[in-house]
Amino acid sequence: MTTTTLSRPDPAPAAGTGPKRVLHFIDGAHTAGTGERTFENRSPADGALISTVHEASRADVDAAVKAARAALKGPWGRMTMEERAAILHKVADGITRRFDEFLAAECLDTGKPRSLASHIDIPRGAANFKIFADLVKNVATECFEMATPDGKGAINYAKRVPKGVIGVISPWNLPLLLMTWKVGPALACGNTVVVKPSEETPTTTALLGEVMNEAGVPPGVYNVVHGFGPNSAGEFLTTHPDVDGITFTGETRTGEAIMKAAATGVRAVSFELGGKNPALVFADCDLDKAIEGTMRSVFANCGQVCLGTERVYVERPVFDEFVRRLKAGAEGLRLGRPEDPETSLGPLISQEHRSKVLSYYARAALDGATVVTGGGIPAMPADLQDGAWVQPTIWTGLSDDSAVVREEIFGPCCHVRPFDTEEEAVALANDTPYGLAAAVWTENLARAHRVAGQLEAGIVWVNSWFLRDLRTPFGGAKQSGIGREGGVHGLEFYTELKNVCIKL
């Protein structure tokens, strides 16, 4: 089979031309780099080869970091805040103008339904640039007048300055959205970036380089290197001495490894890590809303959402009805190709991840779970049998110390357990090393405030899920992360505060 060389990634190979190549984007140009190794990017829906991806060598990562450093000291660093903001608006407009191209690439890489990606991933991917471009222009610092011994006084004022070269390591579940959620504020604050997207979803991150050029972003401001973690692009980036900060979204164990690497040179880190998020369903809730919201929080994006719900605690008077209705909802989900408008659930990201999820399905059975629905591999049409499909699954009956209840699975599944008192529900929800998100379903206003205040989580939804003003702080407690993203809180990581003292 021949390989067609492209100056940029092409998410839709033409019949008979062979797989396309996804290249690095360094110093304003797509390049194969110096590395000789490539890896395959396959469709999670049917296993078909989408593209071959060039794996970055240490020299490639070094070239990207050097380009970022030069741009930081060059034209990007000399621009005014208003000039940078105007360019970032053009980047957002460029994504929107090429919406269909980004949508096709994202759906091919992830297998998620177009109905989901078209309403969330691509619009938010574009919006992240405008949000932070506008926000950074209106963030105040501080100014203090002080007395001095000579009576003439002094003025102290704070300036926000860029942190420098930022290493961005982004995940595969919401590739464009979560990557731009980091790149947007980083660039708005005047930093430059080197991005390593997940090896599972490289295409839109590489494609964005073309939009950056069209928008007038100077070469070296936005760089992309592809590869894996250990002994590959991830390790080369996180251990590079000229990277000033590292932002990462992904599993907690990987975050621990990155944190160790960042300790050399005392580099700053911003982490959004794993979760085992609870939902508390009280008997006084609007059950229709609770079922609809829990369906979304458990099964959206095939359960591959860091904020998703894997532990559901239901007050005993409504437990049986809740389980019955959640089962009916799960069994009504339609699995299929991303482009099918009837598809409501896509595949998992890869065969490797499916093996992990299925191992928990098997563990639940061994631990004596009652399988309410699912628990295995669905029967799919012949053209989809090589995809990473699993059944949406609901269990009851597991002990609180079961691995299925304690460990993050990241699949379309949940365990439902009854509770009798509010105090018990809060204790169960907090019995986890994680603390990313939680949902509370109740019509009792006092209870909503009381329980939300007691839950050990970075974000608590009441009678909703995945609803958040983007100006608010987002991040996890305990082993779910370090730092906050969103609004002015996200700017804290991407800037340093410099105090200037003027003697009068």
Q: Given the DSSP bridges, would you call strands 38-42 and 29-31 parallel, antiparallel or unpaired? A: unpaired
Using left for φ > 0, alpha for ψ between -120 and 50, and beta otherwise, residue 382 falls in alpha
Please tell me the distance from the alpha carbon of residue 188 to that of residue 86, in angstroms, as a whole number. Answer: 10
Q: Is 272 assigned a catalytic role?
A: yes
- Burial class, 121, CB count within 10 angstroms (exposed 0-12 / middle 13-18 / buried 19+): buried
Residue type, 175: P
Collapse the DSSP code of 356 into the 3-class scheme (helix H, G, I; strand E, B; otherwise coil) and give the result.
helix
Please tell me the distance from the alpha carbon of residue 389 to that of residue 307, in angstroms, as a whole number. Answer: 21
Residue the block writes with tokens 């190709």: 337
Please tell me the distance from the alpha carbon of residue 342 to that of residue 277, in angstroms, as a whole number. Answer: 28
Q: Are 52 and 41 in contact (CB under 8 A)?
A: yes
Residue type, 341: P
How many Cα neighbours within 13 Å face the side chain of 188?
32
Q: Which of 199, 200, 272, 408 is catalytic?
A: 272
Among residues 159, 55, 53, 50, which one has the least CA distance to residue 108?
A: 50
Q: Radius of gyration over alpha carbons of the chain, in Å?
A: 24
Between vectors from CA 478 to CA 475 and to CA 479, what angle results, nearest 5°?
Answer: 85
Strand pairing partners for 459?
A: 437
Q: Is 145 assigned a catalytic role?
A: no
Collapse the DSSP code of 304 into the 3-class scheme (helix H, G, I; strand E, B; otherwise coil) and give the result.
coil
Contacts (Cβ under 8 Å, ≥6 apart) of 400: 417, 428, 431
Q: Which of 306, 315, 408, 413 is catalytic?
A: 306
Please tell me the distance from the alpha carbon of residue 105 to that of residue 2, in angstroms, as a whole number. Answer: 21
Contacts (Cβ under 8 Å, ≥6 apart) of 152: 503, 504
Residue 215 tokens, joined: 């928008």
DSSP character for 338? T
Q: Given the DSSP bridges, would you call strands 413-419 and 309-315 parallel, antiparallel or unpaired? A: parallel
Please tell me the distance from the alpha carbon of residue 460 to that of residue 14, in angstroms, as a whole number. Answer: 46
Q: How far is CA 136 from CA 39, 215, 357, 422, in A?
A: 39, 19, 41, 42
Q: Are 278 and 437 in contact (CB under 8 A)?
A: no
Q: How far is CA 229 from CA 4, 56, 143, 235, 253, in A?
A: 27, 11, 44, 5, 12
Residue 409 tokens, joined: 């699975």
- CB count, 10 Å around CB of 41? 24
Active site residues: 272, 306
